[in-house]
Amino acid sequence: MLATHQDAERRYESLREMARNSIGNELPYTDRSNIHLRGICQKALLQAKLWDNDPKRLVDWPWDSGYQDYSYRNPKRFELATWYGNTLAGLSLGRPSYAGTRLRLEFIESRPSSSPLKGRIVPITISVAELYANIIGADELRIIDPVDQKLVEYYTSFGYRYKTAVSEKNHKHYLVKAIL
């Protein structure tokens, strides 16, 4: 890893940590002392591996192998591991656009079964992502490729608008919200 890459990694990890700590201290839940917002570590990846065979899992993104490549290519990334005590309850990853004007949330996943934070992973993730976007100077947050219409409707309840983008190469759909 080049020194400049390491410098970027350290600098942006500091900003990610600032967003996680700020939101973590302000969570509106009575059990917030049990909720820990962290970066994605080896322990989180090992627990996420247990989700692979869960019949309630809606996606099949390989956190254990996918995170390593994604994180290396994107030192400015957004990442969040949401813990409830010692139980991994959710993971999310995203990255700023090349111009830095948008933050893309590309992966948001809750523990598929018996989640201690059922119904709270998305609000927590969105709060941290919106603050991180603001910190890095992005003016909008996009939630990329929601898995179904039910999720689209859920995300719109947080003030996001549904959009589609069609190009010669692909057909993407996402939700977008301006960051003030």
Looking at the DSSP bridge assignments, the partners of residue 144 are 174
Q: Tell me how far apart the alpha carbons of residues 78 and 135 are, in angstroms, rounded to a whole number.
A: 11
Burial of 122 (0-12, 13-18, 19+ CB in 10 A): buried
Domains in the chain (CATH in brackets) are 3-178 (3.40.630.30)
Average pLDDT of the residues in 66-95: 97
Average pLDDT of the residues in 92-114: 95
Looking at the DSSP bridge assignments, the partners of residue 139 are none
Instruction: Please tell me the pTM assigned to this model.
Output: 0.94
Per-residue pLDDT band for 169 (boundaries 50, 70, 90) equals low
Question: How far out from the chain centre does Cα 59 lie?
Answer: 15
pLDDT digits (tens, 9 = 90+) for 113-152: 999 999 999 999 999 999 999 999 999 999 999 988 999 9
Q: How far is CA 116 from CA 3, 9, 22, 36, in A?
A: 40, 31, 22, 12
Whether 41 has a pLDDT exceeding 70, the answer reads yes
Q: How does DSSP classify residue 168?
A: S
CA atoms within 13 A on the CB side of 120: 19
* Per-residue pLDDT, 84: 98
Lowest mean pLDDT among 26-30, 36-40, 55-59: 55-59
Q: Which of 81, 134, 140, 131 is nearest to 108 (CA)?
A: 81
Whether 18 has a pLDDT exceeding 80, the answer reads yes
Whether 9 has a pLDDT exceeding 60, the answer reads yes
